[in-house]
Amino acid sequence: MKLGFIGLGAMGLPMTRNLVAAGHEVTVASRGRPPVDEAMAFGAIDGGTLSDVARSSEVLILCVPNSPDVVQVLDAVIPALAPGTIVVDCSTIDPDVERDQHARVADTGARYLDAPVSGGTVGAKKGTLTLMVGGDPATLDDARPALDPMAGLIVHVGGPGMGQVVKLCNNLIYAAQMVATAEATALAVRSGVDMAKLLEVLVHSTGDCVAVRTRLPVPGVIPDSPASNGWQPGFMTDLMAKDLDLALSYAARAGVPLTSTATARQALTAASTAGYGREDFSALAKVVLRLAGVPGVE
């Protein structure tokens, strides 16, 4: 299948690698030259301009940071879309903005899906991402060969924009988990609890959650956690903050109070202000630990 991929960031580059490995012909474009060169080294094709990538693609996949980036990319590619081409947006953006993009692309005779992903850079590398898809189910059926190599699970969640709504729901829960995990960690450390024993109890008790299992914020307890690896991001603090901003804004328009989400957003603000914006979002725990007077937090 002839695919295009725009946005070779921390997620997009490994997603592209999996598409090439599956035998697809993948033409790429990105803001910077280095990821394009890296993609070419594993078999992708330099597409040149955004419109050239669109012209060469049966399915065009976008993976860019935010709503304005998606709009800007579509401004460039819409004149080049052929009738029947499928555009799949794997970015995380505002649901209402996404619905507008569905309409813009449909007006050209092309088709559109919003398909934000969950699983972080680990899932992107392993090809085990969860895709939550909004749009026409028949379009998803046609696009599945292009999506399967990136995904462990693909779920059609509703019409235009609903993929984005579900993604924001997922991330606001994850952020709240991380704040609670950070606070529990600070309390346990200050009290002298053996953190390996705490982890053993939590994963077999009602406190079990993804944040505990993957991001308990004490070095050495979970070998592949960010805390044990210099806080390298699977999901950057600033990106989680962006997603919570999207959730808070959309919820305000929907008339839904998000009190725990607002609290988590403040914790992320503190982490970014402390210089952890490009570290994994679990680094918000470093702020909590410092406030708790835990020594040796870096």
Catalogue the active-site residues. 167
Whole-angstrom CA distances from 147 to 162, 197, 227, 244, 279 are 18, 40, 32, 26, 28
Geometric angle at alpha carbon 26, from 23 and 29, rounded to 5°:
160
Place of tokens 């092309």: 110
> How are the residues of the chain apportioned to helix, strand and coil, as percentages rounded to the nearest 5?
55, 15, 30
CA distance 231 to 238: 13
Taking the alpha carbons of 177, 179, 185, 188 in that order, is the dihedral positive or negative? negative
Q: Which of 15, 14, 9, 10 is nearest to 59 (CA)?
A: 15
The identity of residue 63, as a single letter, is C
Give 186-190 contacts, CB < 8 A, sequence gap 24+: 186/285, 186/288, 186/289, 186/291, 186/292, 186/294, 187/292, 189/218, 189/289, 189/292, 189/294, 190/292, 190/293, 190/294
